[in-house]
Structure 1
Amino acid sequence: MTKIEGNTKRVIMLDRTQWIFAGMSIALSLQLSQPVAAAVPVGKVVQTAQTNSSDAAQKLYGEAEELYEQGTAEALRGAIVKYEKALKLYREAGNRSREALTLNNIGGAYLNLGENQKALDYYNQSLPLKRAIGDRGGEATLLSNIGGIYLSFGEKQKALDYYNQSLSLFRAVRSPHWEAVILKSIGSIYSELGEKQKALEYYNRALLLKRAIGDRRGEAVILNNIGKVYSDLGEKQKALEYYNQSLTLRRAVEDRGGEAVTLSNMAFVKRNLGNFTEALNDIEASLKIVENLSTPITATELRTSYFATVQDYYEFYIDLLMQLHKTNPNSGYDIKASEARKRARNP
């Protein structure tokens, strides 16, 4: 499953691509370790039938999980087929806990395939079951995932509504990590809506939690986001202060993809400050990292976001080289720009 701030081998270049699935994989693994709710026996024959049904369902579920972990489109579709069969058997056995979990996983598979509306349909089937069995952590996870889907649809206010419901539950079950994740997501939405001060409020709350639990990778993400807000507000020096803090942490935790993001952000600010040479060094360092992150991306949405981001980096780089060429026409910047155009066509 997709994880927030996944390792750099996934080559997730945009912080925004990390939102939707905030607590999914950990929440699900925790649920798997919990006892399965037993069906209420009506008689010995019924009990035996339910037991057989649950055993068969569990076997199918395990096979589906193995396919899911492979992550390819073919494997995910195979996982869905097996999950659906397991779902039917869990329903026959009256096992609402596993029914809810399986619905959630089918939703996750569709999400990874880029079929967000189908994912939403399954999440909405799982949600009332989570509430009925009192699984508040699972409910919080589903609400955050639903919020993320609405965000992908461009429905920011609806996404905020689900994120806020999720936030209250994560706080109630004392899950500071996922509370921080949702605070960051809410901050990102407010930033996109132009409500920069609200964005800073939520980012700073998330930052405190990340520091309290020692999540340095997550802390680096939020520092980067705060830097972006200050850049948008025109406070360039303050933006650089936060970017530098983020860069230090990202290098410390060997988050190469995140390092590329922060370096590109720093280059943008430095260019606007007129520090063209420093900006050039930063964007070249960023692109070098990007070009070395060669592991294929299978999820359609992430692949699209990745290539769009890389193209943005190259466009910025080429524009910067041409600006430098105007002031230093004999320094070969135009040649470097031409080479960069070729590389941009095959990132």
Structure 2
Amino acid sequence: MLDRAQWFVAGMSIALSVQLSQPVAAAVPVGKVVQTAQTNSSEAAEKAANQGVQLYKQGTAEALRGAIVKFEEALKLYREAGDNRAQALSLLVLGKVYSELGEKQKALEYYSQSLPLFRAVGDRSQEAITLNKIGSVYSVLGEKQKALEYYSQSLPLRRATGDRSGEATTLNNIGKVYSDLGENQKALDYYNQSLPLRRAVGDRSGEATTLNNLGILYSELGENQKALDYYNQSLPLSRAVGDRSGEATILSNIGSIYSELGENQKALDYYNQSLPLRRAVGDRSG
């Protein structure tokens, strides 16, 4: 099963391919030679992008580096073809790959280049995605107010384009920022807006994430039974979608609650379920 990130990159590849079937706007007066050159550049770009996707799916750091080379190659060729939308998509994918490699500043550079291109071609859906991703990078970098600024730009675009799944994601992300800032009631409000949307669109992975976030929030508020209730709703969803990293996190969170409650044997049982999953996914910090 492909995880959400893999589906994202695969989706970008499909979008790039679809874009190639549309007429390409020439940067110079159209002639047969120019059209042929643009077509050749576009075909070569599509090939490079598809190779990048295949490397990305391998998931190793080495393969991700190889994917970057291919997406950079595609980007250069799309520029030669004068295809702004495909350039924007390539930049967005490159930002995603750098983010996965932990190079957040580099990711931010690519996302920031893609944003004006999406605006220039009037693609509000991809603009919303890019704004959300910029917000996520700023959140990881600890710049919470900047994160909120970008999420707040993304949210109305999600709604305007009818992207309920994306809307749920951005609502969840805003909730997480408020939780990090200690503004628990605001966090709760946003999580509670996100959760029914997750369920409505059948996003079980996203639903598991929001339920886990609610569990964390209630745990921080000292409401351990409520926290357990949300964790216990989240756990089977993570298992159902094959999210072993998420499953490990939830198991550990449940263990922490039982530890707080003084039920040490139960806590140990959950930690012992979490540990091999952490090792299996290479989560050394967890």
Q: TM class, shorter-chain normalised?
A: 0.7 to 0.9
1:142 to 110, 116, 130: 130
Q: 1:307 corresponds to which residue?
A: 284
Tell me the equivalent position of 1:34: 18
Do the aligned partners of 1:22 and 1:145 also contact (CA within 8 Å) in 2?
no
Structure 1 stretches of 5 or more lacking a match?
Answer: 5-20, 298-305, 310-347
TM norm structure 2 = 0.86
Residue type at the aligned position of 2:213: N
User: Matched residues in 2 for 1:239 and 1:230: separation?
Assistant: 5
Give the conservation status (yes or no) of the 8 Å contact 2:175–2:191: yes
Equivalent position amino acid for 1:263 in 2? L
User: Which of residues 208, 214, 220 in structure 2 aligns to 1:232?
Assistant: 220
Residue range with higher mean Cα deviation, 234-243 or 274-283: 274-283
Task: Tell me if 1:271 matches 2:259.
Answer: yes
CA distance 1:78–1:153, shift in 2 (3 Å): same
1:1-347 alignment to 2 at 5 Å?
3-4=3-4, 24-25=8-9, 28-29=12-13, 31-32=15-16, 34-36=18-20, 37=22, 38-40=24-26, 42-253=30-241, 255-291=243-279, 294-295=280-281, 297=282, 306-309=283-286
| 1:30-62 residue CA offsets vs partner (Å, 9 max, x unmatched) | 523533341235223322332233233333333
CA contact (8 A) 2:248 2:278 kept: yes
Equivalent residue of 2:19, what SS? coil
1:195 offset after TM fit, Å? 0.6
One-letter amino acid matched to 1:231: S
Q: 1: distance between equivalents of 2:157 and 2:6?
A: 14
Give the C-alpha shift of residue 162 in structure 1.
1.0
Deviation at 1:227, TM superposition (A): 1.5
Separation in 2, partners of 1:174, 1:280: 45
Describe the shift of the 1:199–1:51 C-alpha distance in structure 2 as closer, same or farther (beyond 3 A): same
Give the superposed CA RMSD: 2.6
Larger radius of gyration: 1
Distance change (3 Å), C-alpha of 1:277 and 1:168: same
Alpha-carbon distance in structure 2 between the residues aligned to 1:261 and 1:153: 21
Percentage identity across aligned positions? 55
Contact 2:44–2:77, Cα closer than 8 Å, also in 1: yes
Amino acid at match of 1:265: N
Q: Is the 8 A contact 1:23 1:178 kept in 2?
A: no
| Conservation of the 8 A alpha-carbon contact between 2:55 and 2:67 | yes
1:101 deviates by 1.6
3-state SS, counterpart of residue 91 of structure 1? helix
Deviates more, 1:158-167 or 1:272-281: 272-281
The Cα offsets for residues 40-99 of structure 1, whole Å up to 9 and x where unpaired, read as 352233223322332333333333333333333333333333333332332222111111
Q: Which runs of 5+ in 2 are unaligned?
A: none
Shift of 1:251: 4.5
Shift of residue 253, structure 1, vs aligned partner: 4.7
Higher relative contact order (CA 8 A, sep 6+): 1
Aligned-partner Cα distance in 2 for 1:79–1:26: 12
What is the alpha-carbon distance in structure 1 between the residues aligned to residue 139 and residue 48 of structure 2? 33
Secondary structure, aligned partner of 1:308: coil
Instruction: Map Cα deviations across residues 255-278 of structure 1 (whole Å, 9 max, x no partner).
Output: 443333223222222222222333
Paired residue type of 1:198: K
8 Å CA contact 1:223–1:243 kept in 2: the answer is yes
Distance 1:82 1:275, change over 3 A: closer
Residue 23 of structure 1: how far off its partner (Å): 8.4
Q: Counterpart in 2 of 1:337?
A: none
The answer for the alignment partner of 1:336 in structure 2 is none
